[in-house]
Chain A
Amino acid sequence: MSIAAPLTPKQGESERLSTVLTTKRVGLGGAALGLIAWILPLPPVLARSPWPSIALGLLAALAGAFVVLDPKHRRLGGVTIFFGLVAIPLALAMTNQSAANVSQVFTWSAVIASGLTFTTPLLFGALGGVISERSGVVNVGIDGMMLMGCYFSVWGAYATGSWVLGMLIGMLSGGLLALVHAYFSIHLRSNQVVSGMAINFLAYGITGYLLVAQFGNNGTPGTVPTVPNLVLPVIKNTAFFGVAFGRTNVLTWAALLLVPVIWWFLFRTRAGLRLRAVGEHPMAASTVGLRVLATRYAAVTVSGVLAALGGVYLADGFDGSFNFQMTDGRGFIALAAVIFGKWNPVGALGATILFGFSSALAYRMETFSATLGTLFQALPYVLTLIAVAGLIGRSRPPAADGVPYVKE
């Protein structure tokens, strides 16, 4: 028994459909032209004349101007115009620099290697944030939990002489601090933003206090065993991939691997569905027998452990030393990445990669101008701001995010 569906849509509908596609295509095509305009002056093409980029950039802007007239595609049009117009000063600046300088800064293999180091701690923090907020608990305390991981991994590695134990102790410390946040925001139903901020201050104080109390005024010894890099046997000798991925830290691989794992967990497993249900509609979840509070406790604790892993990388993934508030606000960037990535692990990966790689570029751009080097440091923040305004726009959090659950 099947009902025959009408195979041909009405005339008007098909016409409207085709116009939508055309406008969208023009916009995407324009954006692609803009992208080419950006890439041309950079290696490997390394065009030495700005004119091809200027022409392509103007073309892209023109396409964007056409698209922006369609109210349905205003955002796409705006982005395309912006993309095209920015290509012009970019091309002028790049062709004004010597070819050697441009290739030095944009040595892509080195950019990737350095970008991954910037991305890793942020990614851990953002993944933690995604899990916590998907269960309905806002986690502003990522920075503090990360800092706990920093201190305790170094202290643990120092005390036990093993980076594995140091890492576990670091993870444990982040989880414990997260439990405090969980107790206050789940059991005591306190305001989660306030509690999260408090967690940050507590962590700054606790780690600073312990640093002074344990190691005195000389700081950590700097001789503790550190988390090793994963040296890939064959790849390490290849020119491009060897530099980019040949000696990447174990924790970087772990963070990248966690993205699909957490995505799969959240969107393809029963437990993940339950966790999201608790974050979207706790009352309904409770009605069908899910344990709302227990799920949230688990999610917040895991979130703390993940954030702490970011801290472990930051401290014990490098020279194994700790300093006061050494996360330097990375937890807040991770928090931004959670929202930017629309509470999705893959989105969080995209956000942290944008941020991490532009940070890496910003540091390399000192080659262009020593005086402007400081100014270039603002690049990742400017790019994120533009990306959030232009590409992402309104993002919808889990419905019960930040709302304590009271069982009726």
Chain B
Amino acid sequence: MKSSALKRAGRSAVIPLITVLTAFVLAGLVMLVTGNDPLSSYGAIFDGTGLNWLFPWVSGHNRTIAAQDLQQTLVAAAPLVLTGLSVAFAFRVGLFNIGAQGQYTVASVIAVWVGTVFTSMDPVIHIVLAIFLGALVGAGWAALAGWLKAAFGAHEVISTIMLNWIAIWVASYLFQEGGPLQGTQALGNPVSNTIAGNLHLPVIWGNPELQGLDVGVFLALIVAVLYWAIIRRSTLGYEVRAVGHNPTAATASGMNVARSYIVTMAICGAFAGLAAGIDVFGWEFQVSSTTISTSQVGFLGIAVALLGRNTAIGTVAAALLFGALETGTAAINLNPSSINPELAPQLTLIIEGLVVLLVSTDLIALRLLGLPRKLGWGKPQAATARGDALAVDDPARDPAEALRPEPGL
């Protein structure tokens, strides 16, 4: 029993690692073919992520810069954890939540609005209230998609895509020149009011003036634990997995599938909404029409969830990787002598694509090293008792099974 659990854990960690490495090698080949030096480029990107802070021999000015970059990486990873969990939770019930971006958007509108009114409120209560209301509205926005599916059979892929764009356009309207939520100091810019300094989330590492690491990252980690607890230790999580596994069997055993869809989507929306909350109160402090339409946090959450195989720990790890890649290839963090700063973000997309592509199948990683034979895994076990809702399986054992939404996306 114990050893099989260990093997399973080992397998679910080894494969993504091999996958990521393979993706980096392939992207390195792309650089080589197009006349860039992959080693020095990767070196520059690695330094850009601030991960060199972990090396004790980096000292002096370089260490200060590295610390700042690493703070950036963690600040970028925290919302990705949350949007990743948002997408992952929906996958668990068999829904494809493309709508994390929209849920994030409505929540950031509410959070920044609440954060800039009621100025006489106690700061702690004010922050909590704003983030909570943001998450609540995010939950409602997502639950709308769940309800449309439960009540009318509207496919969640359609409804979440449409809700994304509705959120983006409505938010752009609210902050635009002459829009109802445009800031009083905005002077022709499509920007909201700015959140007062005493309402910023406390910075725990680094300089608050330079976007140090705020406590939002803890919120993300707490939600990751909560996610694990809901999925593994609660009746709701059991239902969610059962419905995701086989809705017909779940109905037959007396579960309310319609309610599962709505509740699950609401929780997904709350996760994505919290991501907006920590962004708005952690480092953005204002929201603009431009950030609304260029933000990719929710969209990247899809890739994070896919790479993290819908598990809490996997999602955190995937978010760290993606946060590091995004930070490492941001033009300001790069040494231009190693790689064209315009090229680097595109390289990130290629790496992200390759990682997700390779993670979509275990076979490549396994075949490369002949691992299955060596470790005695053999063929992946067939999903046990597909029709039996009570045998809800660990998705880490067969991720393809857990990820597979209903046919016909």
Chain A interface (Cβ < 8 Å from any Cβ of B): 133, 138, 140, 180, 184-185, 188-195, 197-206, 208-209, 211-213, 217, 329, 332-333, 335-336, 339-340, 343, 371-372, 374-375, 377-378, 381-382, 384-385, 388-390, 392-403
Q: Which residues of B contact A (CB under 8 A)?
A: 30, 34, 96, 98, 148, 151-155, 157-159, 161-163, 165-166, 169-170, 172-173, 176, 178-179, 289, 302-303, 306, 340, 342-343, 345-361, 363-364, 399-400, 403-409
**Is the beta-carbon distance between A378 and B96 smaller than 8 angstroms?**
no
A189 and B123 alpha carbons, distance in the complex (Å): 53
Residues of B within 8 Å of A396, CB to CB, are 408
- A220, chain B: closest CB distance, angstroms: 14
A133 and B407 CA atoms in complex are apart in Å by 10
Q: Which residues of B contact A378 (CB under 8 A)?
A: 165-166, 169-170
Of A191, A208, A211, A395, most B-chain CB atoms within 10 Å: A191
Can you list the 4 inter-chain pairs with the closest CB atoms, starting with the nearest? A397-B408, A205-B349, A394-B153, A202-B353
Which chain B residue shows the least CB distance to A333?
Answer: B161
Residues from chain A with Cβ under 8 Å of B153 in the complex: 393-395
The verdict on A209 contacting B166 (CB below 8 Å), with A193-B409, A388-B159 known, is no
The residue from B162, B178, B342, B360 contacting A371, defined by CB atoms under 8 A apart: B178
Cα distance A54–B342 in the bound complex, in angstroms: 57
Candidates A188, A209, A336, A401; contact of B350 at CB < 8 Å: A209
Q: Are B363 and A371 in contact (CB under 8 A)?
A: no
A211–B34 alpha-carbon span in the complex (Å): 12
Q: Which residues of A contact B363 (CB under 8 A)?
A: 188-190
CA distance A197 to B304 in the complex (A): 11
**Chain B contact residues: helix, strand, loop or mixed:** helix
Residue ID in chain A nearest B145 by CB atoms: A385
Whether the Cβ atoms of B169 and A332 lie closer than 8 Å is no
Residue with the greatest number of chain B CB neighbours at <10 A, chosen from A194, A201, A372:
A194
Asked whether B342 lies within 8 Å of A197 as measured between CB atoms, the reply is no
Closest to B180 in A: A371
Chain B residues with CB under 8 A of A213:
34, 343
Q: Which residues of A contact B148 (CB under 8 A)?
A: 385, 388-389
Structural contact, B343 and A343, CB atoms closer than 8 A: no
Instruction: Give the distance to chain A from B344, nearest Cβ to Cβ, in Å.
Output: 9
Nearest neighbor of B34 in chain A, beta-carbon distance: A213
Q: Are A191 and B409 in contact (CB under 8 A)?
A: no
The residue on B at minimum CB distance from A339 is B155
Contacts A191-B403, A212-B342; is A336 near B352 (CB within 8 Å)? no
Q: List 21 A-B contacts (CB under 8 A).
A: A184-B357, A184-B360, A188-B364, A190-B360, A191-B399, A193-B96, A193-B403, A194-B359, A197-B303, A198-B355, A199-B357, A204-B346, A205-B347, A206-B350, A212-B346, A336-B157, A371-B173, A384-B158, A398-B407, A401-B409, A402-B408
Query: Given the complex of chains A and B, what is the CA–CA distance between A94 and B306 in angstroms?
Result: 47
Given the interface pairs A140-B409, A199-B357, A202-B357, the reply to whether A208 lies near B349 with Cβ below 8 Å is: yes
- Report the nearest A residue to B362, measured CB to CB: A190
CB distance from A398 to the nearest CB of B (A): 7
Taken together as a complex, chains A and B put the C-alpha atoms of A395 and B347 apart, in Å, by 39
| A204-B353 contact given A193-B409, A336-B158, A388-B155, CB 8 Å threshold | yes
Cα A381 to Cα B168 with chains together (Å) = 11
Q: Is the CB of B357 within 8 A of A384?
A: no
Distance (whole angstroms) from the CB of B11 to the closest CB of chain A: 16
